[in-house]
Structure 1
């Protein structure tokens, strides 16, 4: 059954003089091939694209990148039931440094998404005209290089294995069974195994609901998940990694981090608040408490005749949109 619905202008809306469109028609298509054909036949004004379409249509004038205000990351189970390998910070750093994030995004969406070196997504919040992520230290970001760092990865792994008195590691990476999650998991598996021959990674792809259950019950070693900010502020990301937060699947815990996040909520000074939050993020990233992979971006063709449609963190606002 084809899902479709329409949004109609509300004549009782208080600000209706600003609303230009009388009606917007939506239709859900199971395949992007179908929706692209409808777009070409001028039956749709916008369509999502898959990774092969993205590669082909990159130079189309209608090609549009829409930041989701989200970050896709790998989480490590570090609680009581956690795995001794991923509880070791040097091993976590080695795994992160082995990942080629540039290659990863080119595999999943033709390079539309941006490789991530922070937890808080880019283009979420500005601080004095600059992106909030520019406040995070270079040393913290250096564990998440775009192309990976094989030499450093090997050094951290050697340190971690020596600390544990081990020579080999076997880990399981759990992901959802969507196309892009499977591609991400396989990409990470091959990066890690090629860079660090002592590490074996098994990939376990499961339905999304199962993934959430496994993560919430801390029944995993490495997990792939994303977070999309509820509102345009870094605290929407940073709250997650406080001790005991229900979304803190990996159970990473740091008392200084907890204190900075608590302080950021009570200070009356805006600059102190930014400082508390970015220092907390430094601590999380320097310890490889989680491993950022890429900032989620959706890619569409939006016909150039469509004006003033605003896209913000996964939501469209058509209030002042019109078709020229």
Structure 2
């Protein structure tokens, strides 16, 4: 997830979550009903149809519900849908009945038309959507995104007020997990049209939600805001908290100090701060389906369009040193794009990441040879590379390490680093104004296709312009696979092709260090997706 889609924030790329087993706790039995959380970047929008940032998705996880969500065992369960629908028409049609007691925070009923309206907006080129690739496979989605068909032709329609019919172009093995992502949330059509699509989701007064909470005290530009209990939520009796306060915290030292003074109840830390807290009783280690990597600009005017130069940069990076000395938070070296524990390949019984990973050992000698050959191929004696990253402590430290490594290990190269706010970083990437960009992918749902699918040619989540016909073919075959064996075989081939062509440069897999106040219970930290605090309570 993900346009600007950061640092290790307490709440992350892609669904809505549900915590079973906490419903017995109610607000009347809790000693405390307020929770203080952090984001690592400011919230810029809550319009799920044209954004995909971590701050947005983590907030939406606690504001809204879609058709389905994940429970504490990472299983898909009904949310606004009454039950998990079984597909008909050879796996291509889903008829989903919606609950009739779901309401928006302004009292409006949640209807099938709200899903139709939101999904159409999410593929409409006029809305500048950035997460369109996840709709591929839904009837006519690709043609609509390409501007060849009207959004009204998308394979979703309302059959009455509370029945939704979704039509696919081919069976999709991960469909139920896919629609737990925030991008598939509904929107109150009446409200959005009343305030206007340009204003919707830009501040609290222009936003409504259908989940456990609603947002307040957000102007659209401030660095703190509050979620308050939604009186219209159909399961409000299961929600113990009355308020969640969010504050943007960009550096680890501040996060730690706010936690020590009880101003944060769940804080994420890394680097030197995390290293000194490994034996702290409040430390909780959270495994994430989350890979940090370098996006590499491969457009024709970039020196890194040269494959040998890209490979050389990858080979000089000592990932073990990066994770153990710079991050020091339990994160591990990445040898593939898909992170460990995301999914088990059912055809081999092996962890997909582990079975497709390449060596993470640096090879400076080979790198120097490739670098020299690459410079000769592009006809240059030296190059200057622009590395951009977000202005968080973690990304600053990692960017500085990458800069130092490249300049010290390779000759005739200068690396200039810019650390920027999320919005500015996104703008630069959209404009192609970079050579290297420090970025990450946090899986929105637990399937390798959620990672690999974003790097196909022309994908909106692929600002490095990686384009490889063999890779595109493998992904297309996986997406239309009729058998489990064909699906996983093509995914393995795609991961291998990505690594051989150095389409991106994987750096490390995130292990999130949380400082959690004693007494906070009921929070669920999914490996894929974002933390769900909707059933949290104080003991």
The verdict on a shared fold, with TM-score over 0.5 as the criterion, is: yes
SS of the equivalent of 1:111 reads: coil
RMSD, aligned CA: 2.9
How far apart are 1:288 and its partner, in Å?
0.7
How far apart are 1:210 and its partner, in Å?
1.8
Quote the Cα distance in structure 2 between the aligned partners of 1:9 and 1:104: 47
Matches within 5 A, 1:40-55: 46-55=266-275
- Say whether the 8 Å CA contact 2:295–2:439 is kept in structure 1: yes
Larger radius of gyration: 2
Spell out, residue by residue over 1:163-188, the C-alpha distance to the aligned partner (whole angstroms, 9 max, x if none). 33443222221222222222111110
Aligned mate of 1:212, from 410, 426, 448: 426
- Say whether the 8 Å CA contact 1:8–1:23 is kept in structure 2: no
Structure 2 vs 1, CA of residues 200 and 47 (structure 1 numbering), >3 Å: closer, same or farther?
closer
- Say whether the 8 Å CA contact 2:381–2:412 is kept in structure 1: yes
SS of the equivalent of 1:123 reads: coil
How far apart are 1:191 and its partner, in Å?
0.5
**Counterpart check, 1:33 vs 2:253:** no
SS of the equivalent of 2:276 reads: helix
Quote the Cα distance in structure 2 between the aligned partners of 1:286 and 1:13: 50
**Counterpart check, 1:316 vs 2:531:** yes
Question: How high is the TM-score relative to the length of structure 1?
Answer: 0.83
**Counterpart check, 1:13 vs 2:13:** no
SS of the equivalent of 2:434 reads: coil
- Moved segments of 4+, more than 4 Å: 1-12, 303-308, 318-324
- Say whether the 8 Å CA contact 1:105–1:112 is kept in structure 2: yes
Look up the match of 1:199.
413
- Say whether the 8 Å CA contact 2:288–2:510 is kept in structure 1: yes
Spell out, residue by residue over 1:172-221, the C-alpha distance to the aligned partner (whole angstroms, 9 max, x if none). 21222222222111110101111112222121223221221121222222
- Say whether the 8 Å CA contact 1:32–1:50 is kept in structure 2: no
Higher share of residues assigned helix: 1
**Counterpart check, 1:174 vs 2:388:** yes
Matches within 5 A, 1:1-324: 3-5=225-227, 13=235, 22-23=240-241, 26-29=244-247, 30=249, 31-39=254-262, 46-80=266-300, 82-83=301-302, 85-106=303-324, 108-128=326-346, 129-136=349-356, 141-142=358-359, 145-146=360-361, 148-303=362-517, 309-312=523-526, 313-317=528-532
Higher alpha-carbon deviation: 167-176 or 103-112: 103-112
How far apart are 1:7 and its partner, in Å?
5.0
Quote the Cα distance in structure 1 between the aligned partners of 2:405 and 2:396: 14
Structure 2 residues not aligned, in runs of 5+: 1-222
Look up the match of 2:204.
none
SS of the equivalent of 1:154 reads: helix
SS of the equivalent of 1:231 reads: coil
- Say whether the 8 Å CA contact 2:240–2:537 is kept in structure 1: no
SS of the equivalent of 2:258 reads: helix
Quote the Cα distance in structure 1 between the aligned partners of 2:395 and 2:224: 26
Structure 1 residues not aligned, in runs of 5+: none
Structure 2 vs 1, CA of residues 63 and 9 (structure 1 numbering), >3 Å: closer, same or farther?
farther
Quote the Cα distance in structure 2 between the aligned partners of 1:57 and 1:8: 36
How far apart are 1:25 and its partner, in Å?
5.3
How far apart are 1:94 and its partner, in Å?
0.5
- Say whether the 8 Å CA contact 2:445–2:529 is kept in structure 1: no
Spell out, residue by residue over 1:37-77, the C-alpha distance to the aligned partner (whole angstroms, 9 max, x if none). 135xxx86533334333111102243222234222211221
How far apart are 1:4 and its partner, in Å?
4.9
Q: Determine which structure has greater relative contact order: mean sequence separation of CA pairs < 8 Å that are 6+ residues apart, divided by chain length.
A: 1
How far apart are 1:277 and its partner, in Å?
0.9
